[in-house]
Amino acid sequence: MSLESTSSNRSFGGWHKQYVHTSRTLHCNMRFAIYLPPQASETNKVPVLYFLSGLTCTDENVMQKSGAHRIAAELGIAIVAPDTSPRGDSIPDDPEGAYDFGIGAGFYLNATEAPWNRFYHMYDYVVKELPVVVESHFPVSHVKAITGHSMGGHGALTIALKNPEAYKSVSAFAPIANPMNVPWGQKAFTNYLGEDKKSWEQYDSCELIKKAEGHLPMLVDQGDADSFLEEQLKPERLQAAAEMAGYPVEIRMQPGYDHSYYFISSFIEDHLRFHAKYLLD
């Protein structure tokens, strides 16, 4: 599979690079970014932290705003940031142009309803296709962890809970913790998956954590001044489900922080060091 380089920037002794490739899973061209720390070489393959972004975002938000490169360079960890959905003129979008569904809002699931089911398979893209592309073209190992923000936090948690053997650890910033019971998730799940709510459970962290057979180290940060906290995010439900299942998770409520990248950049170092304990073990 060929990659087209679209940008390359030196950063903290390493390199931030963007690439475009043709995705067989999503049937369109997809862009992703990778930060390679200075330790990465053909004789020293480094582990990878995947970062899944939220609604309306692309790979650029975390790479440009979070300040993650400095700590990743110190620790010797690569960061891979995919886009949040398929994109292109042929990709179906929300007919009303809403930000919370369609392009930019793939919800990291495999759609089963037409017309979304031909393109919107972000779960398979993140879990299966993208790691093969990354591990085939860059000096990185198969050792990986996953994190994300908001919709991407939902994606990180559900993907890790469904694939505990594939990841060393998981974390999230302000995740949509119980999407099948909040407006963002209900809109997306109805359109992508249909009316049968039983099928929604496979992409809901609160449901998945109750059935989890393997336990991964899990860290969640949430700002208590987040405007989406009460209506859309529901971290207290994740906490309750984890306690019921005996699943160890650290959920930290951060006073005064909102949903923005000011919040993420304030705690990204904590998350990178958290993952490093397991990626570099």
Query: CA 169 to CA 135: how far, in whole Å?
Result: 18
Contacts of 96 (CB under 8 A, 6+ apart): none
Query: CA 85 to CA 20: how far, in whole Å?
Result: 14
221 is catalytic: no
Q: What is the dihedral of CA 220, 108, 278, 174, to 10 degrees?
A: -10
Query: Is the bond into 175 cis (omega within 30 degrees of 0)?
Result: no
Of the residues 16, 259, 271, 275, only one is catalytic, namely: 259
Q: Strand, coil or helix: what is 233?
A: helix
Q: To which H or E segment does residue 265 belong?
A: helix 261-279
27 is catalytic: no
Of the residues 11, 66, 150, 169, only one is catalytic, namely: 150
149 is catalytic: no
Sheet containing strand 28-36, edge to edge, reads: 4-11, 14-23, 28-36, 78-82, 46-52, 140-148, 170-173, 218-223, 250-254
Of the residues 59, 204, 221, 226, only one is catalytic, namely: 226
Q: Which of 14, 106, 120, 95 lies closest to 56, judged by CA?
A: 106
Q: Which sequence positions are flagged as catalytic?
A: 150, 226, 259
